[in-house]
A and B are shown apart, each in its own frame.
Chain A
Amino acid sequence: AQSVTQLGSHVSVSEGALVLLRCNYSSSVPPYLFWYVQYPNQGLQLLLKYTSAATLVKGINGFEAEFKKSETSFHLTKPSAHMSDAAEYFCAVSDFTGANSKLTFGKGITLSVRP
């Protein structure tokens, strides 16, 4: 069974600082990995996804993530935080069962950005 671990529940950075949100996964098959962002009282929006092409994946809003098989990690980064980045971030792994693939989500990390 697939699983995702997001260490910590809250990260706080200053505006303009590096954003690093960690995600480690467990999967019995080559994984598909995702990062989603959720703003208060809204649904989840896809930031980026890894589907076994390039290991460095670029997403929306200046975010990127690197797939490292040896470390079973898929950490999310952004060079310079903006106030609008304050949100909750979820890492997810797909179980890849073909047409009925399902995502397993981590518990999420809340990102705060200080002025």
Chain B
Amino acid sequence: SQTIHQWPATLVQPVGSPLSLECTVEGTSNPNLYWYRQAAGRGLQLLFYSVGIGQISSEVPQNLSASRPQDRQFILSSKKLLLSDSGFYLCAWSVEEDNTGELFFGEGSRLTVL
């Protein structure tokens, strides 16, 4: 069966420090991968998605970047964190052959920037 792992689960970082959140999917190949951010009362905002290695689409301009160095690995990064980067970050994947768009989510990473 397919599983998705995110780490770290919790992170507290000072303003201006770098960030790296990692996501790995197991049990499937060539998944579509997504990073969402969840802020209180604002639902889920799609940040990046990827349909293959090295292929990244950004949905909103921001202080973050994403990379996909391997088929089942998706990384969210920042060179210098801002207070506004605090939130709950969710990685998700979908099956390319499933045109409905159904997503499978990881457990999330809570980032607090101080």
B-binding residues in A (CB < 8 A): 9, 32, 34, 36, 41-46, 49, 51, 90, 94-96, 98-108
Apart from A32-B102, A107-B42, what are 8 other A-B pairs with CB-CB below 8 Å? Answer: A41-B108, A43-B105, A44-B90, A94-B101, A96-B99, A99-B97, A105-B43, A108-B43
Chain A CB within 8 A of B64 CB: no
Whole-angstrom distance between the Cβ of B71 and the nearest chain A Cβ: 15
A104 partner residues in chain B, CB cutoff 8 A: 46
What is the size category of the interface that chain B forms with chain A? 20 to 34
Number of A-B contacts (CB under 8 A): 68
Instruction: Report B37-73 residues with CB < 8 Å from chain A CB.
Output: 41-44, 46, 49, 51
B42 partner residues in chain A, CB cutoff 8 A: 107
Measured in the bound complex, the distance between the Cα atoms of B44 and A41 in whole Å is 14
